[in-house]
Amino acid sequence: MNFQTIIEEAKAQTQKAYAPYSNFKVGCAVLLENGVIIGGNNQENAAYPSGLCAERVAVFYAKSQYPDTAVSAIAIAAFQDGNFTAKPINPCGACLQTLLETEKRQETPVKLILFGQDNTHIINSIRECLPIHFNFQ
């Protein structure tokens, strides 16, 4: 599958981020199994850490609107100082745990596409990123 469409959506989402404190804009695109793409971006707040990362914004919205539709892939891009980052960025631990629980709940792997100007990483399952995780189920 060509992931260029969701990479472009993740890149576009960086421009909608609210990041006046870090000036580090992150965009995320979630591809659902029905072909719908949901975008999200980081939303900061002066009362740190009450903001939210792009990945959780997008996944939570996707599951609230399409609760019975599996997530197929997630693309992430970051923008800082007028350019997309040269190297791909990875989700934080809280986002990885959220993404892993999405993957576990739907019982199918979620591909993770991490965009960077120099290269893009494609990871076949969130589990590969978080081998040691909270598991209360």
Alpha carbon separation from 69 to 36, 66, 94, 106, 110 (Å, rounded):
10, 5, 22, 8, 12
103 is catalytic: no
* From 55, 101, 103, 107, the catalytic residue: 55
Pairing of strands 111-115, 71-80: parallel
- H-assigned helices in 15-106: 54-65, 93-106
Distance CA 24, CA 17 (A): 9
Catalytic residue numbers, as ranges: 55
